[in-house]
Amino acid sequence: MAGNSIGQLFKVTTFGESHGVALGGVVDGVPAGLTISESDLQIDLDRRKPGQSRYTTQRREGDEVKILSGVFEGKTTGTSIGLLIENTDQRSQDYSQIKEVFRPGHGDYAYWHKYGHRDYRGGGRSSARETAIRVAAGAIAKKYLKDTHGIEIHGCLSQLGPIKAEVFDWSLVETNPFFFPDASKLDALDEYMRDLKKQGDSVGAKVTVVAKGVPVGLGEPVFDRLDAELAHSLMSINAVKGVEIGDGFDVVTQNGSTHRDELTPEGFTSNHAGGILAGISTGQDIIASIALKPTSSITISGKSINIHNEAVDMITKGRHDPCVGIRAVPIAEAMMAITLMDHLLRQRGQNPHVDVPAPPIAATR
Amino acid sequence: MAGNSIGQLFKVTTFGESHGVALGGVVDGVPAGLTISESDLQIDLDRRKPGQSRYTTQRREGDEVKILSGVFEGKTTGTSIGLLIENTDQRSQDYSQIKEVFRPGHGDYAYWHKYGHRDYRGGGRSSARETAIRVAAGAIAKKYLKDTHGIEIHGCLSQLGPIKAEVFDWSLVETNPFFFPDASKLDALDEYMRDLKKQGDSVGAKVTVVAKGVPVGLGEPVFDRLDAELAHSLMSINAVKGVEIGDGFDVVTQNGSTHRDELTPEGFTSNHAGGILAGISTGQDIIASIALKPTSSITISGKSINIHNEAVDMITKGRHDPCVGIRAVPIAEAMMAITLMDHLLRQRGQNPHVDVPAPPIAATR
Amino acid sequence: MAGNSIGQLFKVTTFGESHGVALGGVVDGVPAGLTISESDLQIDLDRRKPGQSRYTTQRREGDEVKILSGVFEGKTTGTSIGLLIENTDQRSQDYSQIKEVFRPGHGDYAYWHKYGHRDYRGGGRSSARETAIRVAAGAIAKKYLKDTHGIEIHGCLSQLGPIKAEVFDWSLVETNPFFFPDASKLDALDEYMRDLKKQGDSVGAKVTVVAKGVPVGLGEPVFDRLDAELAHSLMSINAVKGVEIGDGFDVVTQNGSTHRDELTPEGFTSNHAGGILAGISTGQDIIASIALKPTSSITISGKSINIHNEAVDMITKGRHDPCVGIRAVPIAEAMMAITLMDHLLRQRGQNPHVDVPAPPIAATR
Amino acid sequence: MAGNSIGQLFKVTTFGESHGVALGGVVDGVPAGLTISESDLQIDLDRRKPGQSRYTTQRREGDEVKILSGVFEGKTTGTSIGLLIENTDQRSQDYSQIKEVFRPGHGDYAYWHKYGHRDYRGGGRSSARETAIRVAAGAIAKKYLKDTHGIEIHGCLSQLGPIKAEVFDWSLVETNPFFFPDASKLDALDEYMRDLKKQGDSVGAKVTVVAKGVPVGLGEPVFDRLDAELAHSLMSINAVKGVEIGDGFDVVTQNGSTHRDELTPEGFTSNHAGGILAGISTGQDIIASIALKPTSSITISGKSINIHNEAVDMITKGRHDPCVGIRAVPIAEAMMAITLMDHLLRQRGQNPHVDVPAPPIAATR
């Protein structure tokens, strides 16, 4: 496959560059009869939208999504859904400075060598701007999962640089500009970000996504395990350098006697596994975390080269997020929704005679 | 797709259960003309084989692989390669004890609910025994990558419980039963494992895999990024709970000014990215690490339930690895090889006119 | 896969209904560096466009295609190409008559039972209107095949009802409204179509497509044979009920001694095989023909039922082609181009070291 | 994809050459709980097996299939099923004569140029011997379709050279060595085949396959139409040069008023469409026909060349079918079963809430 599609039965295909005419995509495999409208998609797009707070880029994009097909009289028809977001903030900038230069930490160098011809405006296809369409597609999946199966997906920023959430108060997440679940750390976050901006630097972050109400049995054996496909979809988000399921890298120092989640007639007694065993969902909460690198677009000068292999000094001007992890929260939710949706359809196709039992009592950290 | 295949142009499909007649698979997409024999595959199978040291399971499997097709007069013909490994150590055990019980930490519970009918002998399809075929398939990819492009893939155990490699001496890895790269820690490892065995417990581990000589340009934009596909293939290994590319979760606390790898006319000055930017290989070493959970098959009693939802106490007898991370080293190499091979063919198909330049000087941790 | 994509390395995904807002699609896998513009696509769109002659529907669609991404400074970048055609002729018709009725010979009945919710306006997704995007995507493939490999694809109407081409004068095809290659039959065609219109009936047709300059070696063994994939892509065109490669159904009465194409040092002496043997291209012309049924939208009354299973009489009013085969010519060319393009990339990925020899002298009927 | 797999949710992957060690495959996506045994597969393998009558090749292959995985205690587990057929009749022949020669009408020339290295023994991978595994895989699909949905698939030889079935008496098909449904033509067939053998020539044939009891709604819009996928799977059978659905090429001369199948509250009044409209099954019988070319392996001398481009005269000795169409009957059934099975699972995954109604009364030719 060329690289711009994900999923098997629920499949998302996208196009569009940072400074092109428009972003768009095709969402294929949505069952017929789902009530959906553009405003359902807009909610998540607005959560991802730049310029929402002083902690994110001030680039202003309306990010208004249009549904071009596949929905008739307010309900899906089962045929492919065309999505379109016009790029309204294509400033006629002067790109002469970055046209021939590879920005360190970006895809410029690799794209140049891979393709030999490159849309250098704002990173072109490699810009995180393309994730707007992921969020729109994910919103369709989220609505289907919730409306038909009661599955809910929530994400939050669980760490920003050295500041780590100790408490997961989900009711707090949508009330602060960081999507942060720990009230006691909000002031520290604010202060940290102010300092960072002064320095002209950026910082990494950790985002955690949880899906509640997922039935037992999603995921296929061996290669298409649910965790493997989640790793794929989450790692495909720009700037992600690591993916964890459940306890993640903490398992390296754990013993089997502490890690294994014991079972009782009332359900699991813990959820170190993050809701997935042997690649199949167990009915507990699905828990995944991702590590996002600090954006490389900073105002501190860095060494680089141009296409003629000449040394240059590089300062990235423009409107950039000092911590891309913040706006990654709705993107991570979208990718988890896309993957769960695909596996729900696949499981239903392949094992329909098995009753999907109500999930047992979940013990979630 | 049903779940037992991975890859697009280079595709591996497998079958087989822990205690079935045989394991096997089909390796499709190997270019014609590669010199290969069963002994090339056997080398890696022997590295993965149980019973190699006192630190791994004493189950004895010959793991002798047969090539059934696709190779003629010592060279591949370009058609699909059939692989077969007969299960020789199928002891006619008494399974009545685990037949109706879900072993905690294993796939038993999820498989039961997913399928409603389950091969309970040794975990059936969910047993890590299936990875033998992955290793055989990966050996074909490794040979192709090395013979035709000089790409070499090496793995090691970088951490076992609390014991962490500080030095990466690759020449040491194949000379000790832990695949460990740090000579100063070998005694500690030995002692730790003895204690663990006495306790009847198990421990987690971290495995690191590095590919050297990978050209610039492998990986596709957006969803089929090289790192996303590596995350998929590595997370699909049994017991893996986390995947990192380059600095992985360390990026959470890094600043952009330290993380970004600067470029000079002589090459990159560091490799925090692990050889992948925007999902495309940069020519630097590809570096990935995985976290493997401690095996749940331990002799310390644990709570569980049976298929009648009755509480039971569970002790896993039998021959199990106290640290599955050790034998995971060749498996992780195989999965990286499979993914790189697939992307090499895809890049060649899609962008043939672009010269693949020699990789610049790599700065690897 | 959900059904709206075709191809592996060169992949086309489409969306859009007959009377929706717009048609669109994503063309993924176009190698970087191809010179392309909207006008290159418009040429074939205009050939397919309704209202071009009195023999085709008088529905007026501008069918103006926009390229939304993947092309920068006139050349492809290797990333996905977004295409959009707005539906300009969405008359606010009264659909109350067909809303609950299944038109005989159309997909209405099957769509209703499959999906339970249906865009009944003009057939919705099942309308041949969606083929506009196929033609646009195919034009990209055609340009790549011609510019980089000298492969040319031409189609013609080889039979309309009882009137069969005996001569294949390709220079004639674009000069008459039937895409017909036999000058001696043009008057008869004109007369036949006038009579047909008077009767309010429709008629079937046969379309033949030929690709010249295809190198030896395209197609994969067993399931992804070039002829099997061509059969797939050509049969996917609306109204097609049969596909032939080379001599097609004539082989049923042939003997082996007459059918087999003999080889001489100067090339093949005949081309009964239509350029494909054992699923692989031989370097001769690829020849395929398709049978298109007469459109079921005619003004002669027919029996049908509505969604309440009540008998109704049905007359299809509106602007319909009396022979859909005519406008199918550019569609068939597009589908052949898409399939050849995909296999060209796949062959290049999988067998790069084999020289693709110049095709031997072709003996084409 | 490399070419040796077919299907999405129900997926078959095969390997093996005519004179290699063994043929085999992986059948992935069979739902758990299907009762199946090797003898269920053997029935169809024996129908395909050579040497069954004096009209087919005398090569003797036991064609005994082994199930290596995926079945436990007589029922499928939902995991991948490994299949193996050992080649027992690998005579240590002298291949020096054909080693460097391209047999006309075979894949030799194309394989040589595609791969550059070729298993020349009996055609290697391009031999129809590989279809044995398709038949075994198809038998699993047939059993599932029949046991769980009452769908039955039957094939017959509908024409051999000039001799055409006028009557379709399905009860006759399994009682004569031709799989022929018209008792009045059996003597003529016998005589025709005797003459053909004397001449050392071969002849083409037409095979028709019918599926009864298929529910409404199988098939996806646009590219993955049921007819398009059937065309793919049927055209992938060795020697097939044409595929028809329903009336097939007869539609070219039909009028819309005669072709369209009218609907009444009691069901369709005819079945010109062959059970598929707009790519979706209608509940009527699915009817498909294929044209098989005369085998090129005949004892009448033909012109060819060798790998040095030198002219040679070619007589194919050995044990060959004078009409490959006869043994193609179970193969065509298998391919239709594989495609229907895949679409049944896909439809179930994608549109589960829609009731699949009992098929209306079918009017089948």
Question: Nearest CB to C9: which of B31, B78, B346?
Answer: B346
Overall average pLDDT of the C5-27 stretch: 97
List of chain C residues whose C-beta atoms are within 8 Å of the C-beta of residue D261: 104-105
Overall average pLDDT of the C237-246 stretch: 98
The answer to whether residue C364 scores a pLDDT higher than 60 is no
Instruction: Tell if the CB–CB gap between A294 and B6 is shorter than 8 Å.
Output: no
List of chain A residues whose C-beta atoms are within 8 Å of the C-beta of residue C140: none
Name the CA radius of gyration of chain A, rounded. 21
| CB proximity D197 to A under 8 Å | no
How far is it, in rounded angstroms, from Cα B290 to Cα C60? 59
Q: What is the least distance, in Å, from the CA of C63 to any CA of chain D?
A: 19
The answer to whether residue C365 scores a pLDDT higher than 70 is no
Instruction: Tell if the CB–CB gap between D9 and A346 is shorter than 8 Å.
Output: yes
Predicted local distance difference test score (pLDDT) of residue C351: 79
* pLDDT above 70: percentage of residues in chain C: 92
Is C54 assigned to a binding site? yes
Report residue B358's pLDDT band, with 50, 70 and 90 as the boundaries. Answer: very low
Identity of residue A148: T
The answer to whether residue C101 scores a pLDDT higher than 70 is yes
Interface of B with A in 297-356 (CB under 8 A): 297-298, 300, 302-305, 309-311, 347, 350-351, 353-354, 356
pLDDT in tens, D204-246: 999 999 999 999 999 999 999 999 999 999 999 999 999 999 9
Report residue D92's pLDDT band, with 50, 70 and 90 as the boundaries. Answer: low
Alpha-carbon distances of C162 from A220, C185, C186, C198, rounded to whole Å: 53, 11, 13, 18
List of chain A residues whose C-beta atoms are within 8 Å of the C-beta of residue B344: none
Residue A299: partners with Cβ closer than 8 Å, 6 or more residues away: A200, A315, A316, A317
Identify any residues that bridge with D23 across adjacent strands, giving them in sequence order.
D85
How far is it, in rounded angstroms, from Cα A258 to Cα B159? 18
Name the helix (H) or strand (E) containing B45. Answer: helix B38-48
Overall average pLDDT of the A350-362 stretch: 54
List of chain D residues whose C-beta atoms are within 8 Å of the C-beta of residue C295: 256
Question: Nearest CB to C277: which of D107, D257, D280?
Answer: D107
The answer to whether residue C363 scores a pLDDT higher than 60 is no
Contact of B70 with B79, CB cutoff 8 Å: yes
Contact of C123 with C175, CB cutoff 8 Å: no
Is A129 assigned to a binding site? no
Nearest to residue D198, comparing CAs of D302, D298, D52, D60? Answer: D298
Is C360 assigned to a binding site? no
Q: How many residues does chain D have?
A: 365
Q: What is the least distance, in Å, from the CA of C306 to any CA of chain A?
A: 19
Predicted local distance difference test score (pLDDT) of residue A1: 63
Nearest to residue D72, comparing CAs of C166, B331, B122? Answer: B122
Instruction: Tell if the CB–CB gap between B349 and C349 is shorter than 8 Å.
Output: yes
Neighbours of B, requiring at least 3 CB pairs below 8 Å, are: A, C, D
Identity of residue D136: A
Is B278 assigned to a binding site? yes
Identify any residues that bridge with D76 across adjacent strands, giving them in sequence order.
D71
Instruction: Tell if the CB–CB gap between D349 and A349 is shorter than 8 Å.
Output: yes
Interface of B with D in 7-66 (CB under 8 A): 8-11, 13-17, 20-26, 28-29, 32-33, 66
Q: What is the least distance, in Å, from the CA of A337 to any CA of chain C?
A: 17
Overall average pLDDT of the C74-95 stretch: 87
How far is it, in rounded angstroms, from Cα B322 to Cα B167? 24
The answer to whether residue C89 scores a pLDDT higher than 90 is no
Q: What is the least distance, in Å, from the CA of A195 to any CA of chain C?
A: 38
Q: What is the least distance, in Å, from the CA of B75 to any CA of chain D?
A: 8
Question: Nearest CB to D350: which of A222, A345, A347?
Answer: A345
Report residue C320's pLDDT band, with 50, 70 and 90 as the boundaries. Answer: confident
* pLDDT above 70: percentage of residues in chain D: 92
Question: Nearest CB to A77: which of C33, C82, C125?
Answer: C125
pLDDT in tens, A273-311: 999 999 999 999 999 999 999 998 898 999 999 999 999
Predicted local distance difference test score (pLDDT) of residue C205: 98
How far is it, in rounded angstroms, from Cα B256 to Cα B264? 18
Identify any residues that bridge with D22 across adjacent strands, giving them in sequence order.
D86
Question: Nearest CB to D14: which of B5, B80, B114?
Answer: B80
Instruction: Tell if the CB–CB gap between D124 and B17 is shorter than 8 Å.
Output: no
Overall average pLDDT of the C76-88 stretch: 96
What is the chain A residue with the closest CA to C10?
Answer: A2
* pLDDT above 90: percentage of residues in chain C: 82
Nearest to residue D173, comparing CAs of D162, D163, D158? Answer: D158
Predicted local distance difference test score (pLDDT) of residue B227: 98
ipTM of the complex: 0.95
The answer to whether residue C18 scores a pLDDT higher than 50 is yes
| CB proximity C149 to B under 8 Å | no
| CB proximity B81 to D under 8 Å | yes
Computed over every residue of chain B, the mean pLDDT equals 92
Overall average pLDDT of the A262-267 stretch: 94
Is D332 assigned to a binding site? no
Nearest to residue A148, comparing CAs of A76, A51, A223, A199? Answer: A76
List of chain C residues whose C-beta atoms are within 8 Å of the C-beta of residue D204: 251-255, 259
Is A297 assigned to a binding site? yes
Report residue D321's pLDDT band, with 50, 70 and 90 as the boundaries. Answer: confident
How far is it, in rounded angstroms, from Cα C285 to Cα D29? 38
| CB proximity B74 to D under 8 Å | no
pLDDT in tens, C202-234: 999 999 999 999 999 999 999 999 999 999 999
Question: Nearest CB to D80: which of B15, B22, B119?
Answer: B15
- Report the predicted TM-score, pTM, of the whole model to 2 decimal places: 0.96
Instruction: Tell if the CB–CB gap between B1 and D8 is shorter than 8 Å.
Output: yes
pLDDT in tens, A86-129: 998 666 567 777 889 999 999 999 999 999 999 999 899 999 99
Instruction: Tell if the CB–CB gap between C348 and B352 is shorter than 8 Å.
Output: yes
Overall average pLDDT of the D279-283 stretch: 97
Overall average pLDDT of the B145-162 stretch: 97
What is the chain C residue with the closest CA to D218?
Answer: C114
Computed over every residue of chain C, the mean pLDDT equals 92
Q: In the block, which residue shows the tokens 């959906």? A: A36
Instruction: Tell if the CB–CB gap between B203 and A254 is shorter than 8 Å.
Output: yes
Q: 3-state SS of chain B: helix, strand, coil percent to 5?
A: 30, 20, 45
Contact of C125 with C17, CB cutoff 8 Å: yes
Question: Nearest CB to A349: which of D222, D348, D353?
Answer: D348
How far is it, in rounded angstroms, from Cα B278 to Cα B289? 18
Token duo for residue A37: 């409208």
Q: How crowded is residue D195: how many other Cβ atoms within 10 Å of its Cβ?
A: 9
pLDDT in tens, A43-66: 999 998 876 677 766 666 778 999
What is the chain A residue with the closest CA to D351?
Answer: A31
The answer to whether residue B359 scores a pLDDT higher than 50 is no
The answer to whether residue D23 scores a pLDDT higher than 90 is yes
Computed over every residue of chain D, the mean pLDDT equals 92
Predicted local distance difference test score (pLDDT) of residue D140: 98
Computed over every residue of chain A, the mean pLDDT equals 92
| CB proximity B86 to D under 8 Å | no
Report residue A364's pLDDT band, with 50, 70 and 90 as the boundaries. Answer: very low
The answer to whether residue A355 scores a pLDDT higher than 70 is no
Question: Nearest CB to A9: which of D33, D350, D353?
Answer: D350
Instruction: Tell if the CB–CB gap between B349 and C32 is shorter than 8 Å.
Output: no
